[in-house]
Amino acid sequence: MKPIDLRVEGIRQGAIEVARNRLIFVMALFSLGFLTLIVKLVSVGVFQADGSAYYHTDNVNTSLLMARADIVDRNGVILATNLKTPSLAVVPAKLKTSPEELAPRVAAIFPDMSEEKAFKLLSTTRPHTWIKRTLTPKQVFEIKKIGDPGLVTSDAEKRIYPQGRLLSHILGSVDIDNKPSSGVEAYFNDQLIDPSKSESPLALSIDIRLQYILNQELATYKEMFSAIGAAGIILDVTTGEVLALSSLPDFDPNDTSGPQNVNEMNRVLQGDYELGSGFKTFTLASALDNKVVSLADRYDATKPVRVANFTIHDDHPKSRWLNVPEIFVYSSNIGTLKIAQDIGVERQIAFFDKLGLFTKSDIEVYEKSTPLLPRQWGPTELATTAYGHGIAVTPLHLASGVAAMVNGGRLIPATLLRKNNDIAQSVSQDLGTQVISPATSEIMRNLLHLVVEYGTGKNAKVDGYLVGGKTGTAIKAVNGGYNDKAVISSLVSVFPIDKPKYLVFAMLDEPKGIKETYNLITAGMTVAPMVGNIIKRVGPLMGVMPRKEDEMYFKDLMLISGTDE
């Protein structure tokens, strides 16, 4: 190689070496920068020096930062959870700027805050005072721009309800300080805030799919009939699990102010209503179980009956003698009160008491009512309570009682907690208190089916399902009297009635007549179609598939009892 070539090659090698050294130096600077950043983050996040603007508030207000367990439905869908949101507080001891100077600058960041309010908060004599909760990222940035160490931002825990209003009457809500005000949140508060349990969600019996369907149908029919309220429940009659529970109007649990007026109460658990003919289910079951009547017995329903100062008549008069199944299917008040007279006051009281109709339910919320009972029990009270007047209970009382009439005779306390399926199935025969015999329960299933097939519940029929039920249209009690133009229309139904599994109850509070119902506001016209829609929609979701109906057994019962016309 020529000498000139050697010299050029040496120069080229030296340039490469210089470039490599520079690159190593630059990489070292980058590494040092990243290391410094990591150390700073660890220092801020772990040690959190008191002089930092990111003043930690664990020791100031632990309730805001305490973990609260999630609440989920029976399938694990989140119903209530937590979200860390920045909040602004003032620590007067750290302020470097006077409240007079800070007030207009702080007020300018929050459109809903006046300078006077900002000054009052900044002038606090307390060691720590919250100025604003749930800040936006822009508001946090503006606060940081002020740069006063006495203005402290920190993460606070906010309870979030992803389903909005859908479960408000079940979940309840918490206030701005995460203190529960009602519902499951209040009842299970100790469990939800227990650090040893907060990692495990509270699993409710609710199925959010059924809850949506129930709520949607109630809202549709409430609007259709211009009712002032609506309520409903879906219950597993074999376990007592509440699968859906809705009351309208509802409220937004994400708004910490909670229910705004009495009309937003939980009608299923807090509303005491005279529910009308649904009570005939209990009267007839009591008579059959006490062997006071048989299906072949007949009663005179040719004309209204006078009891004390009341004249009792039938809404669907047949004006003839009726046998026991006919009395139930055609919802005869006259026949029912005569059956009650054969039962007698003492046995009727004992039976109602056994069904839990005299006490609050055991369901897991604090907001629930005690039934309103007659002041005395005489001939008049015996007659009127037999068909659901003169005694006011919550819809849950009626639903739980009817569930016992069809599930083999066991009164099972309603629950909002999911039960272990395997355990529930293996001990299902041991659940609850036996209130009627299995034989009486079978008769009641048949009679309830006849009501839907041939009686007042016809509009609740669903193709492919054996449905049983009992309508109730009760004149509403108002201010110690009755308003003839206001009624509570309800229907309690069970399906499949040959092997009962699910109960659906729906109610409209003061429905108004419409052209399509010929201005009638009876339960058979207003609520029955709604219940039919609910069953049609929830049945497949719950694994109850439509099937070809076998009516022969029920048809034979009708012929034997003389009900077929």
pLDDT tens for each residue of 266-302: 999 999 999 999 999 999 999 999 999 999 999 999 9
Whether 44 shows a pLDDT value over 90: the answer reads no
Whether 17 shows a pLDDT value over 90: the answer reads no
Whether 538 shows a pLDDT value over 70: the answer reads yes
| Burial category of 13 from C-beta neighbours within 10 Å (exposed 0-12, middle 13-18, buried 19 and up) | exposed
C-alpha–C-alpha distance, residues 48 and 59, integer Å: 13
**pLDDT of res. 46:** 40
The SS3 call for residue 4 is helix
Cα atoms found within 13 Å of the Cα of residue 196, Cβ hemisphere only: 1
Residues 343-351: what's their mean pLDDT? Answer: 97
Residues 124-128: what's their mean pLDDT? Answer: 90
Whether 66 shows a pLDDT value over 50: the answer reads yes
- Per-residue 3-state assignment (H helix, E strand, C coil) for 323-360: EHHHHHHCCCHHHHHHHHHHHCHHHHHHHHHHCCCCCC
The answer to whether 62-94+107-203 and 224-235+269-417+427-561 have equal CATH topology is: no
Residues 521-533: what's their mean pLDDT? Answer: 97
pTM strictly above 0.85? no
Domain spans of the chain, in order of start: 62-94+107-203, 224-235+269-417+427-561
Give the best-scoring range by mean pLDDT among 31-45, 132-146, 241-255: 241-255
**pLDDT of res. 63:** 40
548 pLDDT band, cuts 50/70/90, is: confident
Please say whether the dihedral angle defined by the alpha carbons of residues 439, 442, 446 and 452, taken in this order, is positive or negative: positive
**pLDDT of res. 59:** 36
Give the best-scoring range by mean pLDDT among 12-21, 40-49, 129-138, 166-175: 166-175
Residues 58-67: what's their mean pLDDT? Answer: 45
Dihedral through CA 379, CA 380, CA 381, CA 385, nearest 10? Answer: 110
- For 62-94+107-203, CATH gives 3.90.1310.10
What region, left, alpha or beta, does residue 493 occupy, with left being phi > 0 and alpha being psi -120 to 50 degrees?
Answer: beta
CATH fold for domain 224-235+269-417+427-561: Beta-lactamase (3.40.710)
Greater pLDDT, 17 or 99: 99
Among 19-23, 79-83, 508-512, the minimum mean pLDDT is found in: 19-23
The percent of residues in the chain predicted with pLDDT above 90, rounded, is 70
